Amino acid sequence: MSGGEGAEIRARAVSDGVAQALWITGAGAVEMRETPFEAGPGMVEVETLYSGISRGTERLVWTGGVPDSEHETMKAPFQEGDFSFPVKYGYAAVGRLAGGAREGETVFVLHPHQDRFAVPQEAAVPVPDGVPPERAVLAANMETALNIVWDAGVSAGDRVTVVGAGVVGALAGYLCARMPGAEVCLVDVDAAKAGLAEAMGCAFATPGQAAGERDVVIHASASAGGLATAIGLAGMEATIVEASWFGTHRPEVPLGGAFHQRRLRIVGSQVGQVPPDRRARWSYRRRLEKALDLLADPALDVLISGETAFDGLAAEYGAILQDAATLCHRVRYAPVRG
């Protein structure tokens, strides 16, 4: 998470209780640290039930891959520290409110991995009754996918290809596949992702099998090869949405061949801003509430690729981020303390 959203709801740093939080202390290094917090006026205290690891972004942070120029724009809403380390990072926490008028309510918060914390009341978004808290950790990824689909302008009957079947790519495919008459294909180098594509309601192809002449192509593989595939699949005057974030890496972009003859358009999508054509009506809060609503489908549970107890997270964090098979890895917290 980043940009305007982070600036809008970033937490006030105060001190009332002490929690355990995961901190990235250097490139490739993490540790658990005691972290103070306070539930001051207008704030609520949250006892964390689950959090989700967003592998793509968190891996860039963990490896020190956030460019100096983007240290401010890429801040998560309740991040502490800086990308030059140490930094407390993450944005997919689900918990239960402790005390106050909303006591016991299950909420989603764009917060790092921490067992207890306090945030402004408006930042604790209720999880709908039809969405189990175990699945609600996907809310930030669904919010990103929703923003991508808006930026892509996908409509009924479109032929859509999503290159890169990670969590965000799969969710973008899931949303596009629910457009009436849309033909949606997920493309990934891993042929084992065919089952995931089927669960999302999409066809599947490896890059060598994928057919071209698509109306919209969404690129979410964060690789130069994936971007080349996306450009090659785009039809005449089609839109290519670049949903990957490359950090400090500078990929080669194949703008030769038929790129200009086809009059292709590449659109950058980033969840830190609501697309201009919706900005007057859609607040960040409304977008996140809709993302939570969209998680009611049990088919989305296939996107949870593993689970780790919070107490063991520091020991396993690096391996989780380096495993290419990781989709959304869920962190399970101890029962709420009395």
| pLDDT tens figures, 240-285 | 999 998 888 889 999 999 999 999 999 999 999 999 999 999 999 9
Nearest-angstrom CA–CA distance, 195 and 173 = 13
Nearest-angstrom CA–CA distance, 30 and 314 = 6
Q: Between the CA atoms of 243, 91, 103 and 14, what dihedral angle is there, to the nearest 10 degrees? A: -140
DSSP 202: -
Give the list of residues 6+ apart from residue 330 with CB closer than 8 angstroms, or none: 50, 51, 52, 53, 134, 137, 304, 306, 307, 308
Evaluate whether 89 touches 114 at the Cβ level (below 8 Å): no
pLDDT of residue 4: 52
Nearest-angstrom CA–CA distance, 262 and 303 = 35
pLDDT of residue 11: 36
**Phi/psi of residue 290, nearest 5 degrees:** -65, -40
Superfamily holding 142-268 = NAD(P)-binding Rossmann-like Domain (3.40.50.720)
User: Between the CA of residue 81 and those of 13, 22, 61, 240, what are the distances in Å?
Assistant: 11, 12, 12, 35
Nearest-angstrom CA–CA distance, 142 and 144 = 5
Nearest-angstrom CA–CA distance, 93 and 109 = 5
Nearest-angstrom CA–CA distance, 205 and 186 = 6
* The pTM of the whole model exceeds 0.75: yes
Run of H or E residues at 32? strand 29-37
pLDDT digits (tens, 9 = 90+) for 125-153: 999 999 999 999 999 999 999 999 999 99
Do the domains 3-138+300-332 and 142-268 sit in the same CATH topology, yes or no? no
End-to-end CA distance of the chain: 32
Which regions in the chain score pLDDT beneath 70?
1-16, 336-338
Domain residue limits, the chain: 3-138+300-332, 142-268
Tokens of 128: 């709908």
Which residues lie across from 330 on neighbouring strands?
A: 52, 307
Matching residue, tokens 């917060």: 111
For residue 185, how far is the Cα from the chain centroid?
20
Tokens of 15: 């001190």
User: Between the CA of residue 254 and those of 45, 125, 227, 241, 280, what are the distances in Å?
Assistant: 50, 42, 8, 15, 36
Q: Which fold has domain 3-138+300-332?
A: Quinone Oxidoreductase; Chain A, domain 1 (3.90.180)
Q: Of the candidates 200, 198, 199, which has an alpha carbon nearest to the alpha carbon of residue 171?
A: 200
Q: Of the candidates 120, 97, 99, which has an alpha carbon nearest to the alpha carbon of residue 110?
A: 120
Residue 62, SS3 per DSSP:
helix
pLDDT of residue 335: 75
